[in-house]
Amino acid sequence: MKILGFIAALFLSSVAFGQEFLTKNGEVTFLSKAPLNEFEGKSSLLNGLIDLDKNLLDFYVDLNTLKTGIGLRDSHMRENYLETDKFPFAEFTGKIDEKPNLQVGDRRSVKAVGTFKIHGVERDIEVLGYLTKLQNGKLELDASFDILLSDYKIPIPKLVFYELAEVQKVTIKATLTQKK
């Protein structure tokens, strides 16, 4: 009888807390691979939520936190192309295609379908990635997707055509902690 009570208490506590996981320090990287120049920009201030009960996810980053390693390139990127004074955030909101049933140590491939917004333009996209349930009750996300700058009305100046790629590879890595 004591075991049955213990199992019921565990079940109720997991239902009460749900399956929401949060991060405020995930990493987002974009890779620009042009014929004459390759560089990446990074931010370690990706914010995100994964709700496994509702099968939802939402991630956003302040584009002013992206750094490429060259200050002048960063300011040109923000001012001339991303226009972060008008459009400071990039965001992906969507649903996981198939709700993953994760046990500790499991790594599952997932597909999220949703809306990516940057530079004031929203487009429906699919994002492929992996979710891993860690021993400490945390959730790890690794995902990547490509965007075309022209799809989001981000100009590629003629003078630096070979320095900025039309296709940007975006990679997300985050460890999310269960919301209490």
Question: For the chain, what are the domain ranges?
Answer: 19-178
Q: In sequence order, what are the residues at sequence separation of 6 or more whose Cβ sits closer than 8 angstroms to the Cβ of residue 24?
A: 45, 47
Q: In sequence order, what are the residues at sequence separation of 6 or more whose Cβ sits closer than 8 angstroms to the Cβ of residue 63?
A: 78, 82, 84, 87, 88, 89, 90, 118
Nearest to 26 by CA among 53, 62, 69: 62
For residue 165, give the amino acid letter: A
* 162 has pLDDT over 70: no
Confidence (pLDDT) at 18: 65
Q: Are residues 44 and 173 in contact, defined by beta-carbon separation less than 8 angstroms?
A: no
Confidence (pLDDT) at 158: 65
What class is the 19-178 domain? mainly beta
Arithmetic mean of pLDDT, 128-151: 95
d(CA 140, CA 119): 28
Residue with more model confidence, 27 or 161: 27
pLDDT band at 10 (very low <50, low <70, confident <90, very high): very low
